[in-house]
Structures are given as structure tokens and as C-alpha cells.
Structure 1
């Protein structure tokens, strides 16, 4: 087995692994139905901003 065929085999393996990872991310996002978790994560960003604004106003 020469270097070129080894490189080609590794390239194919990485392509298959990347595709499987991509399909897994799609499945986790759309099929797993964790909408409550996504809603909580989206609200947490805004809640952190509100908490930081309240803390800054107290120190001024």
C-alpha cells in the first residue's frame, strides 16, 4: 500500500465521518424535539443582560 492510496482512503473516511456527523446534528436539531431546551437557552441570554443591567445600575 503506497502513500497515495493511504491518503485517498483517509480522505474517504473523513468524508464519511463528516457526513455522519452532519446527519447527526440535523437529527438532534429537528427530530429530537427539544424545543423547551432551546426556548430556555434563548431566554437565558436576555435574562443575563437584564441581570447585568440591574447590577450596573446599582453600582452607579
Structure 2
């Protein structure tokens, strides 16, 4: 049963890494200007860093 748990954690870890990295990239590629643009960049950055932290926490749990 441990193998199933590890496999599911690994899958969630990959999804979190992919979403986190893509959110950070989208924050850099945002073309909006003014306060709306800064709000988008902050939101994308927050979700990106959160995704990478979740990925690292799950990676620590697998070790």
C-alpha cells in the first residue's frame, strides 16, 4: 500500500511543480500595464512560489 501512496504523492508533486513553474513564467510574460499588470504579476508569482513550495514539501515527504 505504501507504493500507491508514494506514486500518488509523486504525481501530485509533478503537477504542483508544473503549475508553479508555469505560473512564474506567465507572470514574466504578462503584458498588462499599470496597477492591473502589477496585480497579475503578484498573483502569478504567489501561485508559482506556492506550487514550488508544495512540490518541495511533497518531495521531502517522499524522501
What is the TM-score with the length of structure 1 in the denominator? 0.49
The TM-score with structure 2 as length reference comes to: 0.47
